[in-house]
Structure 1
Amino acid sequence: MSEEQAVLVDVADGVMTITLNRGKAKNAVNKAMAEGVAAAMDELDSNDDIRVGIITGADNTFCAGMDLKAFVTGELPMLPGRGFCGFVEAPPKKPLIAAVEGFALAGGLEVMISCDLIVAADNAKFGIPEVKRGLAAAAGGLVRLPKQVPPRLAMEMALTGDFIDSAKASEIGLINRVVPAGTALEGAKALAATISANGPLAVKLSKQVIVESGDWTADNMWANQQDIVNPVFTSEDAIEGATAFAEKRAPNWKGK
């Protein structure tokens, strides 16, 4: 399957939608898909006209993980410096939303938790069942998931391989929004529209602080934050935002 078929990319109204497009294989990730996603992430970060990214799956499922048929032939769906699916070790600097229908399992869940926000259908299922295949959830399930949900629950998911549903995922804070089945992408686009209406520099640097501050201490967190966000307060967008508020109009952001 060619790279173009494995990943579909659409840009509209400042939002990039990346679709994992191997529906017959439950959108399992092979090398072509990893390469396609990596190229899309590069475009997301480098194109100033794009404010937010969404990643979703074709045919009413998100992603069933690594393509095991390709794996047994020696093909790995990873790229140097980027990891599984071309981005889990190097997520984009701009916001990325997962729109989840159906199953987000194994590497699929690891793709999902590499995103900043998650909108999921009410019938979606989540899990890291790698242990059931003699494998380990090494694309984020063992190191990223325990930082997003209570560690004991992450431990249970990792050691049992059992699935959880959207209600449980919402209860433990794994996902942001639960929507009716078939509307996850619609819900993600609504969330993306809200984000893209805000100052792009402020959004990007706010994400950076939240992502990086997990490793900061009480002694350095304020200084580290100021180093990152200072450009926001001296930006053209800050003046524009205040002016637009006073003039009761929508801001005309420049991203600088």
Structure 2
Amino acid sequence: MENAMPPAEGTITTERRGALLLVGINRPAKRNGFTPRMFRELAQAYTLLDDDPALRVGVLFAHGDHFTAGLDLPTIAPSMQKGEKLWPQDAVEPLNLGTPGYRRRTKPMVVAVQGITFTLGIELMLAADIVVAADDCRFSQLEVQRGIMATGGATLRMAERAGLGNALLHLLTGDEFGSAEALRLNFVQKVVPKGRQLDEAIRIAESVAAQAPLAVVATRLNALKAVERGPLEAMAEFVSVQQRLSRTEDAAEGLKSFVEKRPSRFSGR
């Protein structure tokens, strides 16, 4: 993917590809270390995905050899010490924590990771939905080595995916582990040879985008509710959500295409 030289403080690239929005982390000279500008632009890209009805799925990836080494601490520390958020109010929060004053993403996000994927990198991929990792990944949640705590979701999602003991093994030592371990712990869903991770992420995203958009969003949100709020709350909305979906144009198209034995052409209505 062609890429012009980014500014010194980095940037986030966006590219529309049909119904996909490709979101690129772009500061390769600094191993894609995140600055305030990059956080702000990432939130803006996630907000664009949710707000544009022509877009159905996001793909987060990184330019260069590495996904991200994490925070650029010298530029981030002042905001951290003040307890300030690094993205605008009312924007979609990339870490999907449900912080008051910020929006949660509704549309799916597929992530391609490679090389160094430290701290924030792990938290961004766990905050997304489906992760494809290159076989050269180096993962580390090393905040304890810097005297701070992981507050972007790692303490929640690593334990949810891998169990408390497995999560604490990596959270409390800050050790480095590879793609095979990340796959074993359910942090990533697929491991592919280096260089193929973005293509595979796009392939998965295109497959998701071909489905009925309203049903995709509802399915994702229900699964998320089951994890965060419990199965009883998720089950409680089965009837109402299914009633709403069954009355859509896409549900009618799904039935018609089944009868006519042809691929469905969904409109998102």
TM over 0.5: yes
1: CA distance, partners of 2:199 / 2:228 = 34
State the secondary structure of the residue aligned to 1:113.
helix
Question: In structure 2, what is the equivalent of residue 87 of structure 1?
Answer: 94
Task: Say what the alpha-carbon RMSD is for the aligned residues.
Answer: 2.3
Q: Does 1:174 align with 2:187?
A: yes
Q: What count of residue pairs does the alignment treat as equivalent?
A: 254
- Deviation for aligned residue 1:224: 2.4
Of 69, 74, 86, which residue of structure 2 is paired with 1:69?
A: 74
Question: In structure 2, what is the equivalent of residue 38 of structure 1?
Answer: 43
Structure 1 gap ranges (5+):
none
* Alignment TM-score, normalising by the size of structure 2: 0.87
Question: In structure 2, what is the equivalent of residue 21 of structure 1?
Answer: 26
**Residues 27-49 of structure 1 deviation map (CA, whole Å, 9 limit, x = unaligned):** 11111011111111111011111
**Residues 134-176 of structure 1 deviation map (CA, whole Å, 9 limit, x = unaligned):** 1111111112221122211111111000021111111121111
Question: In structure 2, what is the equivalent of residue 200 of structure 1?
Answer: 213
2: CA distance, partners of 1:119 / 1:81 = 30
- Deviation for aligned residue 1:75: 4.4
Do the aligned residues in 2 keep the contact of 1:78 with 1:86 (CA within 8 Å)? no
CA shift in 2, pair 1:234/1:120, >3 Å:
same
Question: In structure 1, what is the equivalent of residue 162 of structure 2?
Answer: 149
Of 114, 117, 122, which residue of structure 1 is paired with 2:135?
A: 122
Question: In structure 2, what is the equivalent of residue 78 of structure 1?
Answer: 86
**Residues 67-126 of structure 1 deviation map (CA, whole Å, 9 limit, x = unaligned):** 112134x2457236689x952135421000110011211111111111101000011121
2: CA distance, partners of 1:122 / 1:219 = 38
Question: In structure 2, what is the equivalent of residue 187 of structure 1?
Answer: 200
Stretch moving more, 174-183 or 220-229: 220-229
CA shift in 2, pair 1:120/1:23, >3 Å:
same
Q: Does 1:110 align with 2:123?
A: yes
2: CA distance, partners of 1:64 / 1:195 = 29
2: CA distance, partners of 1:125 / 1:5 = 22
Question: In structure 2, what is the equivalent of residue 51 of structure 1?
Answer: 56
State the secondary structure of the residue aligned to 1:142.
helix
2: CA distance, partners of 1:250 / 1:13 = 18
Question: In structure 2, what is the equivalent of residue 214 of structure 1?
Answer: 227
Do the aligned residues in 2 keep the contact of 1:6 with 1:36 (CA within 8 Å)? yes
Q: Does 1:9 align with 2:14?
A: yes
1: CA distance, partners of 2:230 / 2:76 = 41
State the secondary structure of the residue aligned to 1:9.
strand
Structure 2 gap ranges (5+):
1-5, 99-103
Do the aligned residues in 2 keep the contact of 1:30 with 1:66 (CA within 8 Å)? yes
Q: Does 1:99 align with 2:107?
A: no
Question: In structure 2, what is the equivalent of residue 232 of structure 1?
Answer: 245
1:129 partner letter? L
* Alignment TM-score, normalising by the size of structure 1: 0.91
Identity of aligned residues (%): 28
CA shift in 2, pair 1:164/1:82, >3 Å:
farther
2: CA distance, partners of 1:131 / 1:4 = 26
